[in-house]
């Protein structure tokens, strides 16, 4: 495909680095999402690049009313303002539909009426064709993965490879309820926004081969990837907005920002405003010092507070 679907007009078609933070408005900003926001900002700024925010508000059932503006306000209080307009995925359905059409036209996408229970005999993996007769309802659309083994060099986690047919199967790119799937939307938007580096939580490491396969099938450029350690709760589970992880306090941004920098293995500069702290941290970003695996945040933040 010569021109990626849904390309947005960019004031300056980037040749330099552009990073992004792409929260889902399923709750307020918590320590884990602040790690992803700060991490992606530091990578972009350390490379002299831009950083933009995209609101991944595709799934109405999971979106929390008021969360999107609250996240943007909190980011601003932490010194993290988007360098361009905030893209709302809810406005982008036509671009995702164009990508789906391109994949249908090439035979890469096929309709599927299988439910989870239909796929149980195949260990939940889709066997390469729909095993359920067409039903009287809309199908989901899946991407035929073929025999693709996809690998990439993550800037923090190192080499990561997946045998998609064995480990993932033909995956959903458009849901039966009419909502474009995250995997398709993120790939279309990363290309449309000229994102050159994706920095996000390590829970998305194993989504990345699917996204790279989609980029290849759609003829889109592949950004670099860096997957940050996950902030865990005291039971070693990922902090998540849906589990109502304690939101960070935008009224008192410095302690949380210092804790995030420490969590990322960075020296914590002596600065008295959020922006000055971030600028100084970006100037000394040490990617090799970022730990690969996460740790429990409560213990970590408490230790930092004790240390002053
Ligand atoms: N919207 C996703 C989340 O909030 C992040 C997606 C991404 O960075 O690719 O977890």
DSSP 8-state class, residue 220: P
- 243 alpha carbon – ligand 1 mean position (Å): 16
What is the Å distance from ligand 1's center to 131 Cα?
Answer: 31
In DSSP terms, which residues pair with 130 in a beta bridge? none
| Residue of 183, 184, 186 best suited for mutating to test ligand 1, as the one with most atoms within 8 Å of CB | 186
Instruction: State which of 200, 224, 225 you would mutate to test the pocket of ligand 1, scoring each by most atoms of that ligand within 8 A of its C-beta.
Output: 200
- Ligand 1 centre to CA of 56 (Å) is 7
- Residues lining ligand 1, CB < 6 A? 22-24, 56, 186, 200, 204
* Ligand 1 atom 7, closest CA: 22
Ligand 1 centroid to Cα of residue 134, in Å, is: 32
Instruction: Give the model confidence (pLDDT) of 37-84 as tens digits.
Output: 999 999 999 999 999 999 999 998 899 999 999 999 999 999 999 999
- Mean pLDDT (whole number) for 27-37: 94
Query: Which one of the listed residues 101, 149, 238, 241 is annotated catalytic?
Result: 241
Tell me the pTM. 0.88
Distance CA 269, CA 253 (A): 14
Q: What is the pLDDT of residues 189-208, one digit of tens each?
A: 999 999 999 999 999 999 99
Q: What is the mean pLDDT of residues 217-231?
A: 96
Contact by Cβ (8 Å): 27, 241: yes
Which of 40, 187, 204 for mutating ligand 1's site (highest number of atoms within 8 Å of CB)? 204
The ligand 1 atom nearest the CA atom of 203: 10
Give the model's pLDDT for residue 1: 42
User: Residue 300 has which token pair?
Assistant: 């970590």
Q: Answer yes or no: 149 catalytic.
A: no
The Cα 72–Cα 6 span in angstroms is 24
169: left (phi over 0), alpha (psi -120 to 50) or beta: left
pLDDT score recorded for residue 137: 82
Written out in words, the top-level CATH class of the domain with range 18-307 is alpha beta
Residue-averaged pLDDT of the chain: 88
């Amino acid at each position: 495909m010569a021109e990626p679907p849904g390309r947005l007009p960019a004031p300056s078609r980037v040749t330099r680095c552009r990073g992004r933070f792409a929260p889902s408005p399923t709750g307020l900003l918590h320590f884990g999402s602040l790690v992803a926001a700060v991490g992606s900002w530091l990578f972009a700024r350390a490379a002299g690049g831009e950083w933009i925010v995209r609101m991944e508000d595709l799934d109405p059932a999971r979106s929390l009313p008021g969360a999107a503006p609250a996240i943007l306000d909190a980011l601003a209080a932490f010194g993290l303002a988007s360098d361009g307009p905030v893209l709302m995925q809810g406005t982008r359905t036509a671009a995702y539909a164009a990508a789906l059409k391109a994949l249908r036209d090439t035979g890469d996408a096929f309709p599927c009426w299988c439910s989870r229970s239909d796929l149980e005999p195949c260990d939940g993996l889709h066997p390469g064709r729909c095993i359920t007769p067409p039903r009287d309802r809309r199908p989901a659309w899946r991407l035929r993965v073929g025999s693709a083994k996809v690998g990439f060099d993550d800037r923090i986690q190192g080499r990561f490879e997946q045998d998609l047919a064995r480990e993932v199967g033909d995956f959903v790119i458009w849901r039966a309820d009419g909502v474009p799937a995250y995997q398709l939307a993120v790939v279309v938007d990363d290309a449309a926004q000229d994102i050159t580096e994706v920095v996000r939580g390590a829970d998305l490491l194993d989504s990345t081969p699917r996204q790279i396969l989609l980029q290849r099938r759609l003829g889109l450029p592949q950004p670099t990837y860096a997957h940050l350690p996950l902030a865990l709760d005291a039971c070693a589970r990922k902090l998540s907005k849906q589990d109502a992880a304690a939101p960070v306090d935008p009224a008192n941004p410095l302690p949380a920002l210092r804790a995030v920098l420490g969590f990322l293995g960075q020296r914590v500069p002596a600065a008295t405003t959020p922006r000055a702290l971030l600028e100084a941290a970006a100037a000394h970003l040490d990617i090799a010092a970022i730990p690969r695996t996460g740790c429990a945040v409560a213990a970590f933040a408490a230790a930092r507070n004790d240390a002053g």
